[in-house]
Chain A
């Protein structure tokens, strides 16, 4: 009985040592890969930082309004954020490739899914960046048009344009990521529909006087105002 227990223990120990001996080189290889991966990710970060500085990415982001948005959320500058993101993605990617060397059952599938998800993640990031650019441009265009047409609240109009484009962009990015697709679509539809309905009701009921004044000004007093402008013809 005692002999049997000792023999089994010995067998278990020898299996453990064999398995450990089998795993140890893979673990070492993974650690080396992780270390090399860190170096590669760091070099990538440095290179990307120089490239972004060269193409004046921060200025572009500032013009798009992304910098102000990130600083409001106490986040670093867009170029720094992108560099950090690339660093972590590269390192985690290489680390996961290293982990796959450990040959742990079931892990391969999840690692594969992670790599397959990366293009969608980058597409979503690109969408958000384009959305920020577009929102900055169109908000400024609306502001300038509003100011030069002497509209009552050009800043409000500009902010409305910016918010609408950002909401649209975020919903598109979430859809690309495949996160809560139905919720996002339903939420977007409700918000957008409510906004439009609210504006229609507000203009129809609350802004009757304004609408009347606007139409009267357009239809009857337009000629007089133009005369004032024509007396001061710029050319």
Chain B
């Protein structure tokens, strides 16, 4: 069995004592003492309220926290919730925690959760991000119900976002995923998601876990592999998640966690995305798109522009190996413009991203270097996105994103051509 190698002995003993469950909730943590107690309490509250008759376990895969996170998970008492909210449960709610290894890796934690879900034969498993401080009790219901009651295989979340929050998602991950698979997955890197027993047993031994992409960005890999394998996917609106929770350490780390897994997944599921895209409809529970325009925008636009211009100039030798001569000259022309006239068009962005994907596929250089070289281009694109949408209404912003998606879809034949063509210069 695949689980033998994935689950440590102490966790295996705990799981055996739990026995089969209907629902498993997985939490991957590393020094999340500040938020984990609240998150676990809200999860339990939601489980007791919406699934009182089911056999449930909450499992924490910890990366060796030194701030007492696993103890907080284990100590979060079920009786506190009952007393506070007068909930009654007919079943025992188990809460277990285990350390997955010496090295901190979300991918390793996620693999352990998949293996545990498979071993316990959980009909539905939800993964909740440990830093989700704005979590609500109904999140568990919104994520689990489509799998548990309606036989969906994968539930992706939809969050309420601020207009300039998650530009990498709205300008690259979402349009590219949609262009590849023809499905409007709004959050291809979900902090929270749920999956079925079928998907768990299929993915527990998936090659992604042994790859850099699976270790750094398992959420993206799982979403895209579910799309590629044709699983039944549903989206569920959760509400606001809070900006700070989704923040990566820096831009390059964010690119490694998202774009790297995206490109890897394209290579792994080569045949699945090269077919003509279907209509991008997807069953969504709640609104499929919710953008808030509240609050002032405090962004150093001049710095973004300067970093794009200097980056494009300094990285000429690197970009020369990645993008086509035409794209490079357009980038250089853009970099020569001042802030008032600068514009990184949808077409140039889509073309450049597809050429980066192709360069990754052909391994024209170290793949990590290809991902890093995308950072200055992202800054240029982010500058244009912010300046063009500073004062637009949420609906108009939605239209802009839709227009970008259509540009990505229009350029898809170009991607296929690049992908299947022999490497430049060979």
Contacts and interface: CB of A to CB of B under 8 A. Distances in A.
Given A59-B426, A143-B318, A147-B310, A234 B298 contact: no
Judged by DSSP, the binding face of A is helix
Contacts of B386: 232
B372 A148 contact: yes
Judged by DSSP, the binding face of B is helix
Contact of A230 (B189, B244, B257, B307): B244
B229 to A, nearest CB: 25
B314 A232 contact: no
Nearest to A58: B425
Interface stretch (B20-28, B165-173, B332-340, B344-352): B165-173
Given A140-B365, A235-B166, A235-B168, A147 B314 contact: yes
Nearest to A56: B426
B299 interface: yes
Interface in B184-206: 189
Interface string A118-153: 000000000000000000010011011111101000
Q: Which of B258, B321, B366 has the most CB of A within 10 A?
A: B366
Contacts of A147: 310-311, 314-315, 375-376
A228 interface: yes
Interface in B235-256: 243-244, 246-248, 250-252, 254-255
B231 interface: no
B369 A144 contact: yes
B53 interface: no
B311 A234 contact: no
B382 A232 contact: yes
Given A231-B297, A234-B251, A143 B315 contact: yes
A63 B318 CA distance: 10
Q: Which of A146, A150, A229, A235 has the most CB of B within 10 A?
A: A235
9 contacts: A63-B364, A148-B376, A232-B167, A234-B169, A235-B168, A235-B189, A235-B247, A235-B254, A235-B257
4 closest A-B pairs by CB: A234-B168, A228-B300, A144-B372, A234-B254
Interface of A: 56, 59, 62-63, 137, 140-141, 143-148, 150, 154-155, 225, 227-235
